Structure 1
């Protein structure tokens, strides 16, 4: 088993925790795996398929082991700065390859625009960029309804609305916010409000900042980084798949199909299992391409 070393570094407003798995082949480009709000634990299975490379994972500020030291709401640009600090501390100036999932893919698009010479290949898997969608007005209304529900009623009802939204296939109907709140119990969610408003995804406006971020497409296209927008074949028609395709279109490239779904790399982490072996094989094919 590959040894894991854990480190912590200071960043403005946060203390960031990251892990390094040393690879067997020192000549291979290091692979950084980035999620948001998901932390390093979500990549445990996937990292096991890349023992030839040094693999770096980290917990975004406010998630899992990383802690906030200020009340500032983080944005994709904030996370991009954090990731830059982690990469420099873990493996130096680069270049590195990156697999970025969900909100992590949004943050890495901000990273490439700000730090164009660090990443060799970025695989941005299903970034939930509503700002890129043709139905963004209705989709934003739905996301703001999720946020408002969280602030008013707590985690259970808000997460139930969120899950219903991301499971919806096709464009978001204009009347989505007016629809009844799904029963949180049907998703195994709490039905009582515990008063907390520090959920890593719904707290501090994370979901609004992430979905509403507008990438600097010109800067990304000008960067030497090879950018690959990816989505799971089981995500066809869902908001994250449509976002991946829309971002790819904006960059003038074709999106790449990966096995499984939004969490296709998961091997039981957080109680979810995709198809990590097939996902890893596709990722290796893309990185070697």
Structure 2
């Protein structure tokens, strides 16, 4: 039976092996799941509100992020675990099969869901998954990732983010870095950031899809790229993924976080892509 985001708190929390997952459900109609990693449900709220006019929209905090608490805080966040969580949420709300829209690490989760639980989804839209292992310069990128994590663990937070954005091909002015990641910061944001660097980044970016399984899956797989992401790392990984799957990437408004920058335009494009399914 469907619950809504305004129901009692326990109705918005699903117990799964090793964790309690915070989730929110909006609207009525065909099920759309919006998922990030490490982005939580709040990042998708404006887009979810728009889609909820004619869809049931499920959003969630990935395990270990914000309101989704872990029994073991040191547990690694792997795409397989996050896909299992999504499978349990979709089964729990009992409104599938679903369109699953994943962004960044959430796109990796969505691909793992299609690979391991294909019966629960009819369309996966993987928006800019950072799958560096499918690129020819994977060894260099892996080394850069290890340097980024090492900088963070050594306490150089701004330096770690500087390395992260440089490898991602996203220009970030130094004053913006200082403003975003220096000085007093929200404790939950810092906790989520630490989990991303220490327990999630490697598992998400080093994951290697089973292309044969994805090609034979009954669900439709769409690879999304941001119109403003040309030349960035996730533009490269997305196009490489689309090539492996013998499909053309779909262009979405904005960059890597286009659904945050302009949710109205993103929703219109997403509706068109979903309609094609």
Per the TM superposition, whether the score is higher than 0.5 is yes
| 1:39 aligned residue | 40
> In 2, distance between residues paired with 1:144 and 1:42?
27
Name the residue aligned to 1:72.
Answer: 75
SS in 2 for 1:60: coil
Please state which structure has a larger fraction of its residues in helix: 2
Q: Which residue of 1 aligns with 2:181?
A: 189
Pick from 148, 151, 154 the counterpart of residue 153 of structure 2: 151
Residue of structure 2 equivalent to 1:178: none
- Give the 3-state SS of the residue equivalent to 2:269 in structure 1: helix
1:280 maps onto 2:267 in alignment:
yes
- Equivalent residue for 1:173? none
Unaligned runs of 5+ in 1: 170-181, 267-273
Mark the CA change 1:150 to 1:114 in structure 2 (over 3 Å): closer, same or farther: same
1:169-207 CA deviation, whole Å, 9 max, x = no partner?
9xxxxxxxxxxxx78854532269x99796232122x11
Any idea what the Cα deviations from partners look like across 1:93-121, whole Å, max 9, x if unmatched? Answer: x2111111000000111111101111111
Distance 1:235 1:288, change over 3 A: same
Between the aligned partners of 2:103 and 2:193, the Cα distance in structure 1 is 21
Q: Is structure 2 residue 89 aligned with structure 1 residue 86?
A: yes
Of 217, 220, 241, the match for 1:223:
217
- Residues 96-147 of structure 1: CA distance to partner in whole angstroms, max 9, x if unpaired? 1111100000011111110111111111000011011121111111111101
1:10 Cα offset (Å):
1.3
Pairing 1:116-195 to 2, within 5 Å after superposition: 116-168=118-170, 185-186=177-178, 188-190=180-182
Q: 1:14 to 1:166 in 2, by over 3 A?
A: same
SS of equivalent to 1:73? coil
The DSSP-based 3-state class of the residue aligned with 1:97 is strand
Tell me, yes or no, if the aligned pair for 2:47 and 2:267 is still in contact at 8 Å.
Answer: yes
Matched residue SS, 1:20: strand
SS, match of residue 199 in structure 1: helix
Taking structure 1 as reference, are residues 132 and 116 closer, same or farther at Cα in structure 2, changes over 3 Å only? same
**8 Å contact from structure 2 (residues 20, 68) kept in 1:** yes
For residue 200 of structure 1, what is the aligned residue in structure 2? 195
Following the alignment from structure 1 to structure 2, what is the Cα–Cα distance between the partners of residues 37 and 137? Answer: 24
State the TM-score, normalized to the length of structure 1. Answer: 0.84
Does the alignment pair 1:48 with 2:49?
yes
Matches of 2:211 and 2:183, distance apart in 1: 41
**Unaligned ranges ≥5, structure 2:** none
Counterparts in 2 of 1:16 and 1:154: CA distance versus 1, 3 Å: farther
1:29 aligns with 2:42: no
Question: Hey, what does 2:203 align to over in structure 1?
Answer: 209
**Structure 2 CA distance for partners of 1:223 and 1:168, relative to 1, 3 Å:** same
**Corresponding residue for 2:255?**
261
